Structure 1
């Protein structure tokens, strides 16, 4: 068995002697020394006592068994733990001291495609409560180094998730085969076709901002089809609160251009303009959200019928691709009868203050009320 250097580092970082840890763990110093030297394995009870003494979770003793059975020369493992805010509470690197990163998030240390994936994986572990594993590439000295990353949820004695333990194994042998693993929708509550009838412009701006920031926070690409003035107002808030690399995940389309061929609203136009582009994004494993302020000409002959066919076909696309999509309309511009019609091809109905399952949705088998986007955003912050 190999010496548990990480355990010694953890003990020293806490300013504790072997005697102090042994006393707190209710074992003698000799037994603890054997555990630290790797000549003995602790039982679950002893591992729990040692973990409590060091302020970590006992799973850390068993993460070492997730190391690949055969790694090429140059491979090594970095262990770390973070809290629910994705701030590091402990790190161990086999070759250097990185304790200065304790208390920081990855975006405060170094932000790149690899760390963005790492943050996303940690959030998925917290949200799903299960272990996840993925190969990621991190920049190092001008080249990308592939690493096998495994995340394990950390639980308190009451089985509540309190953070994530990660084991990052540097594996140069994977340079020729970096994997792309499709991401998992983090919360089914926001997956589907949503219809938003807004009444307040200010509330509308808040909902759009929350939809974007929530999506960026969980690693989505955002397609925003909006008027230039509306998007610019939200963009100013985004620039003030998001990292510049996060802003790269937000893609804006002028709705005057997208909905220019109002008279068409054809299935072929939807397939060519929307589904083709969505599929290209999704096939690379990138989760996607869309938001569109729909433009239409009510004076146009058969406008409501064409718009209804448009939304029905969009619902089929959203359902097939498994994405989140919001279609927005000014509640004062649509007659009540057509509002009812649109409820049949949208899974969710959203107002300025709440989000509910559409009671008329053609494929709907559920009922009840789910939180508004504002409440979801607040609960995430809390």
Structure 2
């Protein structure tokens, strides 16, 4: 049977946390389904990987606002509807469509397949990834707070059209179940195990990973810079390294011991020089793929509840929201290499056991099953 994934980005030309998760899901789905892809792309003429590519454009603000007011949809759900995407969906022969992010289902709902049925059920499945309302409310000011309510309403409306909904957070799955969605699955995914980092030779160095063009990551980065003097106080040679694209619209004053590296040529080698990954995220779930990547490498993690989410029960780690406790945990790893080595070995073993026993595979298969 064929499963066609609807992606808001092109995996062949972009590399982001949500695409990493989408690629993982598609890989696991391919064990049971013939996977196809329709994606929004900055390179719509490409035929790489056999994907169907649709131009990724931003409608003018007045047109977007008019469409949102006319349709009653939130701005973000209106943003991802285009005639080209609807036409591409119309032209696709498949057994099910899988929308990656709720807003990618909007074009499907305006397509000729919206009323297709398989055994009496819709042919739409949805992976919510993360509720856009969280990001909008935290980063878009008054507009975000106002439109946040409409985003939640849109996400519930989309879920009611789907035969199955998958989330990356257990509480989000409970939210959908509470609102009458009969098949709301927590996709408790972990990544394939990678070569374990060599923490035995690591330096007194912590690392923050994240694309800071995404506002929640920029917020976390700025918060981390405020915490760093307390983390590093009295620890000779303590270092904080920042990896990922900076936000070109923001300038931040330099802080002693902190270096912004942007991208590194050999991430495996670089991470072996670090004692732990830290994630003081306030909102949004995009950082979770970084946490899963760290666990797959055996890298200790210090993160907030918002960063870790439901992965705490999967990986056996606790989110830390109290600033003093967060600082203390960071200092523990900087001061005690043996503690970092022991935690890294525990994480690597736990992640490998889940993968080798097929837990991530089962959760995807159950979510998409008829």
TM-score strictly above 0.5? no
Greater RCO between the two (CA within 8 Å, min separation 6)?
2
The TM-score with structure 2 as length reference comes to 0.29
Structure number with higher strand proportion: 1
Rg larger in structure? 1
The TM-score with structure 1 as length reference comes to 0.29
